[in-house]
Amino acid sequence: MPYLINCSLLLRRGLLLASLLWLTVGAAWAQSDSLRQLTKQFERQAQQMPREQLFLHIDRPLYLSGETMWFKVYAVGGAASRPLALSSVAYVEILDAKQQPVLRDKVALQNATGQGTLALPASLASGRYTVRAYTRWMQNYGPEAYFHGTVTVVNTFASSGAIPAPDSAALTAQFFPEGGYLVRGLRSKVAFQVTDRRGRSVAATGTVLDAQGAVVATFATRHGGRGSFMLTPAATGSTAYSAVVIPLPAATTSVSTKATASTSRLPAVRDQGYVLSIVPSLLVGHLKVVVQATADQPDNVLLLVHARQQQALARAIYLTAGRGEFSFKEDLLLDGVSHFTLFSEAHQPLCERLFFRVPRRTLPITARPSQPLYAPRSKVSLTVTAGNNASQPASLSVAVYRLDSLNSVPTISIEHYLGLTSELRGAVADPGYYFTATGPEATAATEDLLLTQGWSRFRWNDEALKRPAALPTFLPELHGPVVRARLTRANSTEPQPGLLTYFSIPGRTVRLYNDQSDANGILQFKPVSLYGPQTVMLQTDPRQDTTSRLTLLDPFSEQFTPFPAPTFILMPRFQTDYARRHLQAQVQTVYAGKKYDRYRTQPIDTIPFYGQPSASYRLDEYTRFKVLEEVLREYVPGVQVRIRKDGFHYQVFNEPTRTFFEQDPLVLLDGVPVANINKIMAIPAIKIRRLDVLTSRYLQGGASYSGLVSFSTYKGDLEGFQLDPRVLIQEYEGLQEQREFYAPRYDTPEQQRSRRPDMRELLYWNPAVTVTSPGAAPQPLEFFTGDQPGRYLIEVQGLDASGAAGSSRSTFEVQPSL
């Protein structure tokens, strides 16, 4: 009997152990399965919504109002930021301090690059402006994903020479908990940034006080007005924390009001949640991830480490007593900024942390002038090389401009932008520091930067973890600009779906496009060779509708980040420089102004959209009649004129069936559809230069035409023809026409002795330098110095086919005594 009892006990214990083991294995399996689903969803999102980025190499950092900004656009995408020929149009804007656009333009992209200019108005006020650029596809990710750069504009035409009074020197302190939140009872790092009202960093110290005024932490800034400290919010009681910030004496500015201590509140503390930390591991070359959680949170979490839509590491973490950690080799991380995102098993994002790894793959670039010193009006021979023996073909852009006290801050480099600052919000001062500085202080400064200016590229709840139910809101413009319009019912905002609508551009080249409105009433037209200002016309097919309302949609983004460019004021110590630059600009405008307005001739396709017509008539080659009815009856056998109760109608001969169509054909005047044939017949025949006829059924998009009759006037401007009042006529700006960079040459003694002054600040700009073979001897670039002595900067930026980015800066001198 005891034996049987012992067996029964053993059996029960075995079943209990087996049950516990099964539950443990089952939980581990469920967690592993959830992780696999998370990584698959992430991969699917990366495939369906590939990442696209733009970078602008801007020719220089400072301009006078009225000058021209030159730039080159680089389009990249994918995990390696390789050149990506996805979009064919880049939208480039200049925003003022209120994030309002003051200039906008569209630039053509070809083979993942483009080039353009922005002519700054002479009335543009002095200040720092944001240059931003994006594509239609990038609008799916919001304005944080757009390119943002900063330039300074000085208006030397201001009527008053007075220097504006500086702002108060009061400080602003912002605090950023590691992982995103402060949580009761969980120790975490808190980063901070101290700035004055002009957005400049300020060195400071401070103390953190609890609700009772007791000091719980102290801090001091390190690099760029940033720093961090550790804080454990109280597990019980009040969790209201504040910080007293005191500027260091050396950091106070020379303004009328000295910076004084200020008090700021820390972010609110959550009662529940998680804290995610990244700390050095005891193992060399390793990092450690630490996850903490309050007692009421699930113990199973998922960690996904990713950069540029590519996974580097995925791990399921089980928390014991509210804590879990693991170490991994730092070499597993991708170059640049990695996102450490913590998820629940239900794939809800919990918190996120960024980590920066200096890119190991760069593009070496050198730019060597033929000599270090030049006389005015001398030829400069510049040798540019890019890459090493293993490098691929590289696309480069070169700018040469004069350095002075106003041009002391360099433009952002492509490798710094793609590797770091594109993943951060707001402007980053001196980004090169985080690429070259070494040691514990540099590591801490990089951590502070990532914690204070880091942001998540993906909207996890909306995009990354859900299968898209429909097409993205903005589709890429693959073959030129896409003109969008909205069709609504009369006297209503209700969309009008399923209606055929025409988009035409009157001119000597017949261009007509059509589309059917979708469920939201949206129309998309894809015109080709749409450059410069154009008059466009939209109308619905009168056989389907005559009452709907058409609205042309603005292609530019109306979403803006909350991070304007830093404030700018004119400095009294630079008054002499302002005056000198003003004189130089005026001299250049007087003596070479027209030469700066040369544009390249854009290729124009003169073939009409319907191709070769069945018959074409140049009416000047025939006996002229006064009315079109006689012209059609005498010379155009493929078109029969019929008169019915409502007036004139056309019947076009259908060549394949040897019969006449019963329905009216599509009738065009300078490419614009005209439904009322009575009005066409009233046009004096002397105004018509050419008549084309298509004697077969013609299909265009979703439309089918019973033949086609196209009238063309001499100027292609409708010759005063009155269109139906329901036709929407609107001015539309097409792609930017390419301006040619002008620089004088001094090849002969006569040119060198010319008394025409040459006061250029920008000596050379070339956005189309290509290095195809790193080992081959490059062809030197040539340009001439001007009349201004001083030191000149040669800036070269570029990207090779593998995605390696690089830049180079070198200088030479111009001395009048040589």
Q: What is the pLDDT of residues 129-183, one digit of tens each?
A: 999 999 999 999 899 999 999 999 999 887 434 344 444 557 889 999 998 889 9
Topology, domain 615-733: Ferric Hydroxamate Uptake Protein; Chain A, domain 1 (2.170.130)
Classify residue 761 as left (phi > 0), alpha (psi -120 to 50) or beta: alpha
Span 644-671, average pLDDT = 94
SS3 793: strand
> Which of helix, strand or coil describes residue 762?
strand
DSSP-based three-state secondary structure for 627: strand
Q: What is the mean pLDDT of residues 738-756?
A: 91
What is the C-alpha separation between 275 and 319, in angstroms, rounded? 12
**Mean pLDDT of the chain, nearest integer:** 88
Tens of pLDDT, residues 450-494: 999 985 544 554 444 555 545 788 999 999 999 999 999 988 899
Q: What is the secondary structure of 66-125 as a DSSP string?
A: T-EEEEEEEEEETTTTEE----SEEEEEEE-TTS-EEEEEEEE-BTTEEEEEEE--TTPP
pLDDT for 108? 96
Own/partner long-range contacts of 20-26 (Cβ < 8 Å, ≥24 apart): none
What would the mean pLDDT of 707-718 be, rounded to a whole number? 95
Q: What are the tens digits of pLDDT across the range 314-341? A: 999 999 999 999 999 999 999 999 999 9
CA distances from 366 to 90, 382, 407, 810 (A): 29, 10, 22, 8
Contact residues for 514 (Cβ-Cβ < 8 A; gap 6+): 500, 501, 502, 503, 525, 700, 701, 702, 703
Q: Which residue would you say has higher pLDDT here, 574 or 378?
A: 378
Q: Do domains 52-160 and 615-733 have the same CATH topology?
A: no
pLDDT band at residue 711 using 50, 70 and 90 as cut-offs: very high
pLDDT at 599 over 90: no
User: Which DSSP string do the residues of 126-154 spell out, in sequence order?
Assistant: SEEEEEEEE-TGGGGG-GGGSEEEEEEEE
Spatial contact of 104 and 89, defined as CB atoms under 8 Å apart: no
Strands of 286-293's sheet in order across? 274-280, 286-293, 323-329
Residue 387: which pLDDT band, with cuts at 50, 70 and 90? confident
Alpha carbon distance 697, 711 (integer Å)? 18
Give the whole-angstrom CA distance, residue 320 versus residue 113: 52
Q: Distance between CA atoms of 409 and 598, rounded to whole angstroms?
A: 30
User: What CA–CA distances, in Å, run from 493 to 108, 415, 546?
Assistant: 33, 47, 16
- What is the edge-to-edge ordering of all strands in the sheet holding 171-177? 171-177, 188-196, 226-231
Q: Around 91, how many Cα atoms within 13 Å sit in the side-chain half-sphere?
A: 21
Q: What angle do CA 443, 566, 569 make, to 5 degrees?
A: 130
Which residue's structure tokens are 């009856």? 633
Angle 648-649-654 from CA coordinates, rounded to 5°: 155
Q: C-alpha dihedral over 370, 376, 377, 381, to 10 degrees? A: 10
Element (H, E) at 48: helix 2-48
Among the CATH numbers 2.60.40.10, 3.40.50.2000, 3.40.50.720, 3.30.56.10, which is that of 171-270?
Answer: 2.60.40.10
In 10 A of CB 707, how many CB atoms?
Answer: 26
Residue 631 is given by DSSP the state H
Q: What pLDDT, in 10s, does the model give residues 519-546?
A: 999 999 999 889 999 999 999 988 888 8
Beta bridge partners of 287: 280, 328
pLDDT of residue 593: 61
Question: Reduced to 3 states, what is the DSSP secondary structure of residue 546?
Answer: coil
Cβ atoms of 414 and 55 closer than 8 Å: yes
> End-to-end CA distance of the chain, in Å?
117
CATH code for residues 52-160: 2.60.40.1930
Tell me what pLDDT residue 455 has: 57
- The pLDDT confidence band at residue 11, using thresholds 50, 70 and 90, is very low
Cα→Cα distances 334→183, 330, 338, 702, 788, Å? 30, 9, 7, 47, 46
Joined together, the tokens standing for residue 412 give 């952002």
What gap in Å lies between CA 673 and CA 652, rounded to an integer? Answer: 16
Tokens 């443990």 map to which residue?
A: 24
Closest CA to 134 of 559, 425, 459: 559
Tell me what the mean pLDDT of segment 248-254 comes to. Answer: 57
**Do the beta carbons of residue 625 and residue 634 sit within 8 Å?**
yes
Domain boundaries, the chain: 52-160, 171-270, 483-552, 615-733
In this predicted structure, what is the pLDDT of residue 547?
87
* Lookup: tokens for 494: 């209700």
Dihedral sign of CA atoms 208, 210, 211, 213 in order? negative
Q: By percentage, how much of the chain surpasses pLDDT 90?
A: 69
Report how far residue 356's alpha carbon sits from residue 337's, in angstroms, rounded to the nearest whole number.
4
> Which class for 660: exposed (0-12), middle (13-18), buried (19 or more C-beta within 10 A)?
middle
Residue 31 has a pLDDT of 65
And the tokens for 529? Answer: 């060779």
Q: What is the dihedral of CA 721, 724, 726, 728, to 10 degrees?
A: -20
pLDDT mean over 571-590: 82
Which pLDDT does position 29 carry in this prediction? 52
Identify the CA nearest to 807 among candidates 425, 436, 428: 436
pLDDT tens digits, one per residue of 271-301: 999 999 999 898 999 999 999 999 999 999 9
Residue 7 banded pLDDT, cuts 50, 70, 90: very low
Question: In the structure, what pLDDT confidence band is assigned to residue 595 with cuts at 50, 70 and 90?
Answer: low
Cα atoms in the 13 Å half-sphere on the side-chain side of 384: 28
Measured from the Cβ of residue 742, the count of other Cβ atoms closer than 10 Å reads 13
> Percent of the chain at pLDDT above 70?
90
Nearest to 185 by CA among 80, 275, 54, 73: 275
Q: Is 2 helix (H, G, I), strand (E, B) or coil?
A: helix
pLDDT-derived band at 254 (thresholds 50, 70, 90) equals very low
Are the C-beta atoms of residues 584 and 761 closer than 8 Å to each other?
yes
**Region 401-426: what's the mean pLDDT?**
90
Q: Where are the alpha helices (DSSP H) in 433-498?
A: 433-436, 440-453
Tokens encoding 466: 């859900």
For residue 392, the SS3 value is: coil
Q: How far apart are CA 481 and CA 461, in angstroms?
A: 31
- Cα torsion at 32, 34, 38, 44 (round to 10°)? 100
Does 207 have pLDDT greater than 50? yes
Long-range Cβ contact pairs of 108-112 (< 8 A, separation 24 or more): 108/480, 108/735, 108/736, 109/73, 109/75, 109/85, 109/135, 110/85, 111/83, 111/85, 112/74, 112/75, 112/76, 112/83, 112/84, 112/85
DSSP 651-706: EEEETTTTEE-SS--EEEETTEE---HHHHHTSBGGGEEEEEEE-S-EEETTEEES
Taking residues 344-356, report their average pLDDT: 92
Helix (H, G, I), strand (E, B) or coil at 573: helix
Check if the beta carbon of residue 232 is closer than 8 Å to that of residue 186: yes
What is the arithmetic mean of pLDDT over 226-248? 93
| H/E segment holding residue 46 | helix 2-48
